[in-house]
Amino acid sequence: MQTLIAFTLSLLPFVTSQGADGNPHHWDRRRRCDQTQYTPACGICEGTGGIPYGDQNNEIHLTSCSPITTNVTNPIHPIWGEQFTAQHYNEVLIGPKTDPFCFNSFPSNSSVGKLCYRADSGRQVYDAVKSKALRYDLNVKTVVGNVTTEIIHQNRHMWIINHLPWYAANVHQCICTNVHQGSDATQEYLYPVTYNWTDQMFFVGREDLGIEYTGIANYSEIVDHWAFGPHHVWSTPGTGQIRRMWQPFNGLEVFTGKFNRSQVDESLFDDIPPALCKKGGAAIRIKCTDEGYPVNATETHGDGGITAAAPAPTKSDITRAIKPKPSKPYRGNTFTDMSNTLNRWLTTNKHIETTSCEEWTAKEIQNLQATLYLVRDETFNSIYENVNDNRKLRMAMDDIIKEWSELSLLIKQETNQDKRNHLIKVHRDGHCHEAVMWYVHHITEDMKVLLSQNTKIRLPLLSDTLHSTACNEKGPIDNSDDQYVNAKKRVCDVYKEQVTCASCHSDVTPPGHEFLKN
């Protein structure tokens, strides 16, 4: 979606022979080849890209391409048009990585640094006649699951309305922002893409190009390849209908044949600014005035994702955070007693719904934790880190996400069912403890109220089984299987870190936390 906005960016001054930004990720000419500022200039079946998933040159599913000819008399330019409705299209949005979950991804005019690759699909409606606006209704694939998103770009304003998933209480969130060139708030504003932006493109050649997202294996079409700077467009010969677009650090867009170029449903633009962005609208409103416009004092670059400026901690929030140990009603004599005691408090919490830890999978809890991380207040973690309180986040979120992926792979690779079930249980139970700790100790009370405004947020209860002893001992299913022994050690080491609530809520101190007894 924002790929289109980036098409309006003017070309940067010449810097190197490999694009204005120097092509810092060293992408080859299939993944990136600019029409200008490249030596030699991009040619037929170059710069075709594909479905990317990482910064490394090989982290992309390249599309197929066979050259047909560069000798075409008066080819028809790609047609964007004054109005259209694309009922279904797919994209991979690419932009600078500004948060661990890539919710804030927004295209830039440079590929420098780590990038996000976010898959979206849905409807796109464009009206340059009456509303002079662009709207998207999308299903966004994220680390925390699918999020329904509505985006409206009119004038310099953009509204992003996210409907958070069930595990985030089904609440709505509105982000009000102004769009700037190059995602830089010091640069000029960007408006919806102009109806004739494709007029500036240069013909590259006619190709037999693989078209993604058709559901047909190895599907390809004869299309005309056009380029302008790093932007590439493929259109149907003779009609100019756009089928596919690619910009290596903005994104991939593929349109289906359901493309109404004659009219739009004008009522889709009636709710501007959206009611959910106004005072009394969405449970979470970010940088919005009471009237639903972006707050000028905090203009930014289009934070297109699920971030939440949590309500500031109250005095009671801070008092609880700086208290090193919980009061007696929140403690237990043993790990099991501690877990059951805290579970009783959780089940009486009016802001949440609870289900047993066994009813969750580790992946579901990771999704929940990602949402909790995004609505946390960083004040708490700063307090915990300053005194080395075990409530602090174990490591940077990027490292935690990497750890999640590595542990999931280790468990998946275990072929013995008994061994795998043991690893799954330890892994899941650790997540239950950590998720509850994040909710209790990293979120303000006001944010907890916001998250329960429409539907109560769901939390797992604590598992009352302490796995630390079994982790340290050789059990009946342990043997000389090095793969399992390594997986067990990794899973158990993380588990011991995740259940540190026992260090303060019971008289049991997990291995590695004996210093807390001092």
Report pLDDT digits (tens) over 264-282. Answer: 899 999 999 999 999 888 8
Q: Taking a C-beta distance cutoff of 8 angstroms, is the pair 273, 292 a contact?
A: yes
Sequence-distant (6+) residues with CB within 8 A of 429 are 357, 463, 465, 467, 495, 499
Dig out the tokens for 256 from the structure.
């289906």
pLDDT at position 167: 62
* Closest by Cα among 363, 381, 374, 438 to 102: 374
Q: Phi and psi dihedrals of 268, rounded to 5?
A: -65, -20
How many of the other CB atoms lie within 10 Å of CB of 517?
8
Dig out the tokens for 461 from the structure.
């209860």
| Cα–Cα distance, 178 to 185 (Å, whole number) | 9
Sign of the C-alpha dihedral, residues 315, 321, 323, 329?
positive
Average pLDDT over residues 62-68: 98
154-167: buried (b, 16+ CB within 10 Å) or exposed (e) per residue? bebbbbbbbbbbeb
Q: Taking a C-beta distance cutoff of 8 angstroms, is the pair 435, 459 a contact?
A: yes
pLDDT at position 308: 43
| Cα–Cα distance, 207 to 394 (Å, whole number) | 51
| Cα–Cα distance, 22 to 29 (Å, whole number) | 13
pLDDT tier for residue 168 given thresholds of 50, 70 and 90: low
The torsion defined by the Cα of 486, 489, 491 and 495, in degrees rounded to 10, comes to: -170
Q: What does the domain layout of the chain look like in residue ranges?
A: 1-155+191-272, 315-517
| Cα–Cα distance, 123 to 431 (Å, whole number) | 36
pLDDT tier for residue 1 given thresholds of 50, 70 and 90: very low
* Closest by Cα among 67, 370, 366 to 209: 67
Sign of the C-alpha dihedral, residues 487, 492, 493, 495?
positive
The angle at the Cα of 434, spanning 432 to 439, to the nearest 5 degrees, equals 95
Average pLDDT over residues 60-77: 97
Dig out the tokens for 82 from the structure.
């004054």
Dig out the tokens for 85 from the structure.
């409705």
DSSP state of 44: T
pLDDT at position 448: 84
Q: In the chain, how long is the greatest CA-to-CA distance? A: 85
Average pLDDT over residues 441-452: 84
Average confidence score pLDDT of the chain: 83
Per-residue pLDDT of 78-92, as tens digits, reads 999 899 999 888 999
Q: Looking at per-residue confidence, does 51 or 1 come out higher?
A: 51
pLDDT at position 469: 76
Residue 258 pLDDT greater than 80, yes or no: no
Average pLDDT over residues 494-513: 65
Rg (CA), the chain: 26
Cis, peptide link before residue 40, omega less than 30° from 0: yes
| Cα–Cα distance, 203 to 76 (Å, whole number) | 9
CA 418 to chain centre: 34
